[in-house]
Amino acid sequence: MPLSRAPQVAGQVVQASRRPHVALYLADTSALSARHSWLRELVEGLPEVRFRAQLHTGAPASPALLAGFPGNLSGQGGPEGRPETRRLSPAQRATAEVALSGLVTALCLPDVGAFELSLEALSSLSEAGPLGGVLLSGAAAQRVLEAWREVARPEVRPRLPAPSVADALAFAEWLCGVLRGFERPLPQANMGHALGSGEPGLLALHALWRRGTPFVLTEPQVELRRRYLAFRRSPAPLGLKTLQLRFGRLLCRAVYRQASVIVAGSQRVRHWQEHLGASPQRIVVMSSGLQVPSSLLTAPAPEPAGAVVVWCGEVRPDQDLETLLRAFDLVRRQRPEARLRLFVAGLDENPNPELERCRALVGSLRLERQVTFEPAPADWSEAYREGQVVVMSALDEEVPPGLLEAMALGRPIVAPRLGAVPEVLGEAGVLITPRDLLALASSVLRLLAEAPLRRRLSDAARARAGLFSAETWRRSYRQIYDKLLNAEPFGRAAPFTADEFEFGDDLMLGAAGTPPGARS
């Protein structure tokens, strides 16, 4: 289905043309630099579309980052920038303080409708001048404190901790950084595409409110859940963390309500989106960022000789390499000839404390002869070719990077039963309980010992990897873009009820991170 011209929308800057303009809303440069990212596949797969990246950080994308992309992607900046002399008038400052007070009240209640109205008011005021001068003022802090104290009373549910002056000042400063995205120049575009419901979603809402630019939302994984888990380690006071988390949650709801199309990276992500108020009619489940190059599907890679286990990725705490190393210590006791090759991305770059900790563990387990740390090749499939068995260990990835490449090569895979891995891998690999080193060791030993089982899993993995071809993925996005550019109707957002809000606050205190009725 060819992309067609976008209809004129009130306040929209770009004139309809044969090559539609799409604004890409990104939190930072990570999506531009990520290996085999969904963004790279999208830009390369839709050469008829002109993309323009807008970063929430405000810094323009460097030429070095854009050099690897086709010419239909450009960065932020240029003649659209506003003069720095803009200032809010006294009346506008007073209006901004009222909107800030309404925003805090909406967070305390919580009330997604009032939250949207207050956020939209601040978005409108940002056109006249930067909001920083207002948000960082003493009057703004007083507004935050008064609104917070009004709701933080024993008879009001859900109950909030009573705020201190320091809490009010800290929240105003944090909010100033979050809303700085409103001060960025709006790219000229027929439509927008946001990667995530956080900062990118905020940019998308700003463009929708100011210029009427509709947008697509892509969520490869449950972003809100990651935010909750990260906040559990934050040293900030409980009341401040609660307000920050509620801002993220209500922002997520607002983005779901306003997005024309929502692309979920898995059924698990869809469960979360629907629980947070997204309309099922607007959700498309598609493994965003997972595309197998057709070259890997042509012929199976021959199995190497020797009992070699391969892991490839970045060494971070959430990769749980400690469990892998301790499990391999059990493997080598029964298979002394077995080898574990760890292909590390960025091995020779900046110092990595987690990598040094893993090296020390290898030494303490006396695995220096069996375990090697090697630089990861640019194409991870080259690393996977070196092993009879591939292990995925990530604990905080919806789908581990490289999973499909290993499947396409026909390598038997052992992976934790987490996120969307069961959806992607199916019965073409071995799924184990996360952090279960005994299960990991026994699975690896069985695969190394049973060649017929390896061949069966190899055939199943290659067949299943074909379902995630790059061509299918690109065709799906082209259809989504065409539908939105032609202004075809989508479903309405599900109604918001405050009672559903409670489980999210509990996550910060240690409750399970799965919405009611959804699988983890």
Confidence of residue 128 (pLDDT cuts 50, 70, 90): confident
Confidence at residue 53, expressed as pLDDT on a 0 to 100 scale: 86
Confidence at residue 350, expressed as pLDDT on a 0 to 100 scale: 74
Domains of the chain, residue spans: 90-178, 294-467
What are 274-323's pLDDT values in tens digits? 998 899 999 998 875 455 655 566 667 788 888 999 999 989 888 899 99
Which residue stretches of 38-137 are H helix?
38-45, 63-66, 90-108, 112-125, 132-135
Closest CA to 434 of 284, 327, 507: 327
* 294-467 CATH, one of 3.10.20.30, 3.40.50.2000, 3.40.50.1980, 3.40.50.12780: 3.40.50.2000
What are 325-359's pLDDT values in tens digits? 999 999 999 999 999 999 998 887 778 899 999 99
Between strands 413-416 and 389-391, the pairing is: parallel
Both tokens of 266, joined, read: 């898995």
The partner residues of 283 in beta bridges, in order of sequence, read 262
102 CB-side CA count, 13 A? 17
What one-letter code names the amino acid at 446?
R
Q: Residue 175 and residue 103: Cα distance in Å, rounded? A: 11
Query: φ and ψ at 258, to 5 degrees?
Result: -100, -20
Residue 15, Cβ neighbours under 10 Å: how many? 11
pLDDT higher than threshold 50 for residue 499: no
Q: Is 229 exposed, middle or buried (0-12, 13-18, 19+ CB in 10 A)?
A: middle
pLDDT higher than threshold 60 for residue 10: no
Q: Residue 504 and residue 507: Cα distance in Å, rounded? A: 5
Q: What is the mean pLDDT of residues 201-209?
A: 94
Confidence at residue 206, expressed as pLDDT on a 0 to 100 scale: 94
Which residue stretches of 320-428 are H helix?
321-334, 353-364, 380-384, 403-408, 421-425
Q: Is 322 exposed, middle or buried (0-12, 13-18, 19+ CB in 10 A)?
A: middle
What are 403-436's pLDDT values in tens digits? 888 998 899 999 999 878 888 888 899 999 999 9
Confidence at residue 400, expressed as pLDDT on a 0 to 100 scale: 79
Of the listed ranges 224-233, 332-341, 397-406, the one predicted with least confidence: 224-233
What one-letter code names the amino acid at 176?
C
What are 263-281's pLDDT values in tens digits? 988 888 888 899 988 999 9
Give the N- to C-terminal CA distance of the chain in Å, as an integer: 36
pLDDT higher than threshold 70 for residue 85: no
- Four-CA torsion 112, 118, 119, 122, nearest 10 degrees: 180
Question: 202 near 194, Cβ under 8 Å?
Answer: no
Please list the helix, strand and coil fractions of the chain in percent, rounded to the nearest 5, in that order: 50, 10, 40
Query: φ and ψ at 204, to 5 degrees?
Result: -65, -40
Question: 518 near 271, Cβ under 8 Å?
Answer: yes
